[in-house]
């Protein structure tokens, strides 16, 4: 018997996240596990009068393809994919990884060829297709969260069933404040950073593009970032895990970067010019996500956190930075993680993970559950 929570999740994805309409084309991508959810999405899409399609991607096969890829092969892949995506209106991506390090030994240069070659396709999808990305609960994810599979599934469905309409309303005062703000200051252990967000939109994320969700993002003015930031959560990129990442900025550029693997960290940041500039600044508020689990789709939404992102900016909050890299790095500012402060134009906005302004109280965890 199908878990009724999967039925409810599928309804949320199609009705709230991508707002599927009759006669629209829906691409369902399954990366690993999650076929039961994909099957339910197909059923509900047909019920809604839409046309579903499914693409199943195996990470072991993907690794083999990437190990031998070339610019010529990637050009063919782009040629085939571009016309297909122009006929797709909605996209649900299910990440059900069983080994999140499967691609860790793919050389950076091979990954760069693939990313750069398909960047026009990915940019088109992000900007023109109503899409949502979610991670599916697997034993590997439960292990990363240091939980049993059953306990993690319960946690997962609680997280995914937040009242996103309520969250969206609570975000409105913060959106208005951010769009009036010039100078931002971040303070915490190993962190003293300043930058401007003047003139760049603030985008609410309340279940439309990610499940789970719960963040608001903008971008720094490209050359305005100065100071140092130290991240207190692990971060994974290109299959490699990094701890204690510390970045030093001068006029927007990362001039020094260290971690438990500084060499590979700097290799990634040297992918192109834009990788050493920041493309996103975001604040996380999901009340059910409190601790990191080395899964960025969850970690970037942690209540009391913010993330800072080397690489590509989003077109709807654009500071002009372009890169094949988009690497969300998370810092938690609740007291048990060392505390910290966020200041907007010399006014304290959040202290130790809690919003202090009266207009923003609705975003504190007890008010979002």
pLDDT tens across 170-199, in order?
999 999 999 999 999 999 999 999 999 999
Among the ranges given (129-133, 137-141, 217-221, 260-264), the one the predictor scored with the smallest mean pLDDT: 137-141
Q: CA–CA separation, 271 vs 257, rounded Å? A: 14
* pLDDT-derived band at 145, boundaries 50, 70, 90: confident
Q: Residue 358 — φ and ψ, nearest 5°?
A: -60, -40
Q: What is the 8-class DSSP label of residue 314?
A: P
pLDDT exceeds cutoff 90 at 57: yes
Model pLDDT, residue 245: 98
pLDDT exceeds cutoff 90 at 144: no
| H or E element that contains 84 | helix 71-85
In sequence order, the 6+-apart residues with CB closer than 8 A to the CB of 357 are 177, 347, 349
Model pLDDT, residue 98: 83
pLDDT exceeds cutoff 90 at 100: no
Closest by CA to 30, choosing from 57, 1, 60, is 57
pLDDT exceeds cutoff 90 at 160: no
Closest by CA to 153, choosing from 131, 174, 170, 138, is 138
C-alpha gyration radius of the chain: 20
The answer to whether 350 and 332 are in contact (CB under 8 A) is: no
- Show me where the domains of the chain are located: 4-160, 164-368
Query: What is the percent of the chain where pLDDT is above 70?
Result: 100
Looking at per-residue confidence, does 256 or 12 come out higher? 256
Model pLDDT, residue 62: 93
31 alpha carbon, distance to own chain's centre: 16
Q: Which residue has the tokens 């839409």?
A: 50
Mean of pLDDT over the chain: 94
pLDDT, tens digit, 9 for 90 and up, residues 304-330: 999 999 999 998 999 999 999 999 999
End-to-end CA distance of the chain: 29
The answer to whether 95 and 135 are in contact (CB under 8 A) is: yes
Q: Tokens for 288?
A: 């059910």
Averaged pLDDT, 246-252: 98
pLDDT, tens digit, 9 for 90 and up, residues 13-52: 999 899 999 999 999 999 999 999 999 999 999 999 999 9
Closest by CA to 280, choosing from 321, 240, 243, 247, is 321
Closest by CA to 203, choosing from 254, 279, 134, 275, is 279
Domain range 4-160, CATH architecture: 3-Layer(aba) Sandwich (3.40)
* pLDDT-derived band at 206, boundaries 50, 70, 90: very high
In sequence order, the 6+-apart residues with CB closer than 8 A to the CB of 144 are 100, 293, 294, 295
Q: CA–CA separation, 115 vs 121, rounded Å? A: 10
* pLDDT-derived band at 85, boundaries 50, 70, 90: very high
Q: Tokens for 64?
A: 């083999």
Q: CA–CA separation, 248 vs 337, rounded Å? A: 21
């Amino acid at each position: 018997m199908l878990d009724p929570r999967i039925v409810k999740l599928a309804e949320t994805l199609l009705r709230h996240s991508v707002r599927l309409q009759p006669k629209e084309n829906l691409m369902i991508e399954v990366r690993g596990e999650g076929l039961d959810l994909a099957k339910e999405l197909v059923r509900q899409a047909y019920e809604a009068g839409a046309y579903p399609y499914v693409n199943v991607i195996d990470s072991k096969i993907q690794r083999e393809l990437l190990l031998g890829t070339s610019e010529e092969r990637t050009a063919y892949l782009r040629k085939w994919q571009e016309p297909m995506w122009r006929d797709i209106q909605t996209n649900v991506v299910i990440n059900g990884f069983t080994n999140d390090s499967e691609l860790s030994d793919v050389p950076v240069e091979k990954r760069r060829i693939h990313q750069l070659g398909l960047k026009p396709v990915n940019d088109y999808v992000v900007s023109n297709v109503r899409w949502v990305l979610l991670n599916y609960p697997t034993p590997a994810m439960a292990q990363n969260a240091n939980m049993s599979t059953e306990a993690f599934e319960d946690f997962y469905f609680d997280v995914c069933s937040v009242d996103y309409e309520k969250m969206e309303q609570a975000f409105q005062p913060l959106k208005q404040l951010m769009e009036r703000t010039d100078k931002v200051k971040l303070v915490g252990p190993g962190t003293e950073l300043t930058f401007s967000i003047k003139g760049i939109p603030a985008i609410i994320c309340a279940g439309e593009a990610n499940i789970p969700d719960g963040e608001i993002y903008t971008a720094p003015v490209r050359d305005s970032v100065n100071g140092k930031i130290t991240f207190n959560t692990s971060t994974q990129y290109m299959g490699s895990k990094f701890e204690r990442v510390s970045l030093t900025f001068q006029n927007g550029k990362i001039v020094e970067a260290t971690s438990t693997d500084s060499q590979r960290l700097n290799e990634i940041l040297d992918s192109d010019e834009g990788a050493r500039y920041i493309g996103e600044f975001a604040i996380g508020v999901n009340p059910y996500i409190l601790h990191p689990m080395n899964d960025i789709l969850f970690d970037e939404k942690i209540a009391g956190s913010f993330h800072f992102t080397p690489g590509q900016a989003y077109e709807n909050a654009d500071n002009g930075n372009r890169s094949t890299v988009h690497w969300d790095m998370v810092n938690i500012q609740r007291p048990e993680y060392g505390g910290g402060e966020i200041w907007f134009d010399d006014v304290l906005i959040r202290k130790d993970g809690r919003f202090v302004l009266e207009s923003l109280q609705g975003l504190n965890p007890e008010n979002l559950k």
